[in-house]
Amino acid sequence: MKSITIYHNPKCSKSRETLKILEDNKINIVIVLYLETGLTKKIIKSLMLALKCPVRDLMRRGESEYKDNKLSNLALSEDYLIGCLVKFPKILERPIVIKGDQGVIGRPPENVLKII
């Protein structure tokens, strides 16, 4: 059975709920505590590829780091925004669940059922 990777923030209720769904389904889970381990440009690009989305879709627009750094500016390049996710991992949308070359954002947590 292929394992599933979850980019998890234990303080987030949606992330905890998504993890519980995976555990309840007896899924082999790799938990990435990205706020502790950090993110790299390579990781973010692989998330974008799995989710088939632009970098902006990975960003939590309500976070102070997003607002304070004016990341809503449409003139900012994708590479710059990826760098901001590396610098401010708190703005990564969560949880993100990856299985092979597919991914979903666990909002709502039941989204994970699409790939398990």
Determine the Cα–Cα distance for residues 32 and 72; give it in Å rounded to an integer: 27
Radius of gyration of the chain (CA): 14
- 53 has catalytic annotation: no
Sequence-ordered alpha helix ranges (H) in 25-111: 34-37, 41-51, 64-68, 78-87
Indicate which residue of 7, 10, 12, 89 is catalytic.
Answer: 12
Active site residues: 12
